[in-house]
Chains A and B, each alone.
Chain A
Amino acid sequence: MGPLLFWILSAVAVGSALATIVQRSPLSSALTLTLCLVAVAGLFATLSADFLFVIQLLVYAGAVMVLVIYVIMLLNLGDRELKPLGLSRPRTFVSGLVGILLLALLARAQAGAAGISMGDVPDGFGGVRSIAGTLFTSYLYPFEIVSVLLMAALVGVVVLAMKRF
């Protein structure tokens, strides 16, 4: 069952990611991107990373993409505003370069992972308890710094959105 699920979810993820970049309508792109995120969440679930699975659904698919779709709908681009899909020369060059770099990175990761045994994960792996334990002991400072950053962003939004100071 595991390999079958993996292939199905990966096919959906790759297919929807491709659809995201080749489609012209921004809403369709956003929708396929959501599908891609959900499929990736499914992959997390098959890797028994339950917490990551739920957080992926909650934060990316449930919150970020909703905002993106919200904005797209409010802009409501018609056919006229949309430029036809076409690749200018510099853009082709840059995206090709980035693609090759990404592939190289993946190949390297794959080569590095060859020696690691893919045995059973320990009990409670990927659950809230283990992640929270790691987050609040080994990575406490990065965690706090990130939360301060988020707080600053929040305050910034409030300041920008306020009419009177």
Chain B
Amino acid sequence: MPAELFMPFVMVLVAALLPLQLLPAMIWAERKVSAFIQDRTGPNRADILGIRLGGVIHSIADVVKLIAKEDMTPSKVNSFYYSLGPFLALFISLIPFSIIPLADTLKIGGAAIPLRAVTLDVGILFILAITSFHVYAVVFAGWASNNSFSLLGGLRSAAQMVSYELGLGLSLVGMIMVAQTLDLNEIVRQQGGTIFGILPAWNVFLQPLGFLIFVVSIFAETNRNPFDLPEGESEIIGFHVEYSSMRFAFFFMGEYIAIIGGSAVVATLFLGGWQVPFFDTEMLRENAMLAARIAFGSTAALCVLLSIILMAYDKKLQALYTDKRRFEARVLLGIVVTLGAGAVGGLLFLPTLSSLGEQIVTAIVQNTFLVGKILLFCFFFIWVRWTLPRFRYDQLMNLGWKTLIPLALLNIFLTGVALVLFDRGA
């Protein structure tokens, strides 16, 4: 069966490319969302041949800047360990994607092809194990900088991550008790269907407390805003003060990929993963033609909407600019119209799908929903960052040890009681 042999490699590639492609979008979203929250317009200047895409080009400019900057290595530093920190930070944050199921398992000629890179029936534990490896990056970066401030910063961040790992693990126990499995695809599959006929049976509704603790712990694990002590350079120094150029960029990228990875884990464990609300896999496969039509139709509708927005934008550009930037909206309009025409063409000349085609359409629809959930949760990360102030270090430790861990234990207890009462255990 050749498909079984090459699919893992394809999936590894997909799993690595998904976060790396979301990364520039994430950085753009961070800037743009923060700007809008603070009543600013955000980046909109960098352009390639007048195409600015509302500031997306700034991500490319960033890359050029970071590569072109001087790559400093402090004196009396073991350069192997010094480089190991950023390398680990990026590499380890990419690993969890290998285990996220991107869509339901394909069945081709009797062989089941899972749409994830690594099939492991202890997926949750694997994610926790990989999360604990992040500490290495932080500790090595702090120690190898040969600077007492960054050493202290590294120890501080490492202690934070180790502390919140406990909350992270314990918050999942209640969910595992309900799911009775550690396999991620199985957990996602159980989140199909509905509770009381109205809510999708996502774990976030079954385990609200566990979800809350998990989200807070994920924020702390990824060193994200309410807990981003390394970022507070004016008051407290983090582990990456000595880094510059691409080695700093590795930390930066690692942080954002960890955010995307955290979102993917939250989406998989609590928000139904690839489940389309109210439609399970079988129903999607039966109605694959309809699903494909809806997909093409909504793409076309989106293109029409975008064209209207672009036409209004074009008027504004014509009034504002005299140089090549004023043609931007027209170029984009051309692309959008082509896309829309393609979607309409697809809608009109859609061939009858074979069984394999139905499965592939289903997988694409499911994967779209998964990526949508990931993006929504990434937005939540950004939203929180530009709203909340930073915790003080003792407050952070108090929250982790004295609030989240007891709450997680309470959650386990409540889940157990509920399981006994409603007899879903046994």
- Total contacting residues, chain A, CB less than 8 A: 20
Contact of B158 with A66 in the complex, beta carbons under 8 Å: yes
Interface residues of A in 28-71 (CB under 8 A from B): 34, 50-51, 53-55, 57-58, 61-63, 66, 69-70
Residue in A54, A69, A128 whose beta carbon sits within 8 Å of that of B136 in the complex: A69
A-B contact list, 30 entries, CB within 8 Å: A27-B143, A50-B120, A50-B121, A50-B122, A51-B125, A53-B122, A54-B120, A54-B126, A54-B129, A55-B125, A57-B126, A57-B130, A57-B132, A58-B132, A62-B132, A63-B162, A66-B132, A66-B135, A69-B136, A69-B139, A70-B158, A73-B142, A73-B151, A73-B155, A74-B155, A76-B143, A127-B121, A127-B122, A128-B121, A128-B122
Residues of B within 8 A of A58 (CB): 125, 128-129, 132
Contact of B132 with A27 in the complex, beta carbons under 8 Å: no
Interface residues of B (CB under 8 A from A): 81, 120-122, 125-126, 128-130, 132-133, 135-136, 139, 142-143, 151, 155, 158, 162, 182
Interface residues of A (CB under 8 A from B): 27, 34, 50-51, 53-55, 57-58, 61-63, 66, 69-70, 73-74, 76, 127-128
The distance from the CB of A157 to the nearest CB of chain B, in whole angstroms, is 14
How far is it, in angstroms, between the C-alpha of A66 and the C-alpha of B182 when the chains are bound?
Answer: 25
Interface of B is mostly: helix
Contact of A54 with B125 in the complex, beta carbons under 8 Å: yes
Residue in B122, B143, B162, B182 whose beta carbon sits within 8 Å of that of A73 in the complex: B143
The distance from the CB of A133 to the nearest CB of chain B, in whole angstroms, is 13
Residues of A within 8 A of B158 (CB): 66, 70
A66-B122 contact given A57-B129, A58-B132, CB 8 Å threshold:
no
How far is it, in angstroms, between the C-alpha of A27 and the C-alpha of B128 when the chains are bound?
Answer: 25
Contact of A61 with B81 in the complex, beta carbons under 8 Å: no
Residues of A within 8 A of B81 (CB): 27
